[in-house]
Amino acid sequence: MKKLMIGLVLGAFIITNTAFANNSNNVNDKVQTSFKQEFATAQNVVFSKTNNYIKAAFTLNNQVMEAYYTADGEMIGVSKNLLSTELPIGLQVDLKRDYVDYWISDLFEFATNSNSSYFITVENADQKITLQSNGNEWVVYKKAKKA
């Protein structure tokens, strides 16, 4: 179930533009308590929700992050956008070596309580490829030809 939820959240990032309803008044106590336990020093917290999960957008260490929860208050994962120069050096080197003729259209980190990965979308005139980091290496997560 949790894996399915992670897939839904990642899908929202990579494939679709999911619409969130700003509805912080209706976020239940379980989610708010769970969030406060994990991110006690977070600031500028705004909750919103879809049919499938609840999102908390906030700043931590002056960085904008988003945490995703089930209605039961279970954390699905946390994400933040970053620059390619902020990637670990091994991932930067592999990217420069293997995708030198591509441009970067999206880059974010997605972390769960047990794992953390970077997702980068690179494009050229013909295709769009989303890569997921596995340690110091990239693996293809999704590949699509452009129309």
The tokens for 70 are 């089930």
Which of 7, 86, 105, 143 contacts another protein by CB under 8 A?
86
Asked whether the beta carbons of 101 and 124 are under 8 A apart, the reply is yes
Please name the amino acid found at residue 62: N
The minimum distance between CB 25 and another protein, in angstroms, equals 26
Q: Which of 111, 128, 132, 142 binds another protein (CB under 8 A)?
A: 111
Which residue from 89, 91, 103, 78 is spatially nearest to 133, judged by alpha carbons?
91
* Complex with another protein: residue 21 or 139, whichever CB lies closer: 139
The Cα angle at residue 18 between residues 115 and 40, in degrees rounded to 5: 50
Site string for another protein, 11-30 (x = CB under 8 A): --------------------
Q: Does 56 bind another protein (CB under 8 A)?
A: no
Interface residue with another protein, options 31, 54, 65, 122 (CB under 8 A): 65
The continuous run of DSSP H or E covering 22 comes out as strand 21-22
- How many C-beta atoms lie closer than 10 Å to residue 10's C-beta? 22
User: DSSP label at 15?
Assistant: T
- The answer to whether residue 51 forms part of the interface with another protein (CB under 8 A) is no
**Should residue 41 be labelled a site residue for another protein when binding is judged by CB under 8 A?**
yes
Can you give the binding site for another protein, defined by CB under 8 A?
Answer: 38-41, 60-63, 65, 78-80, 82, 84-86, 88-90, 92-93, 96-97, 109, 111, 113-116, 134-137
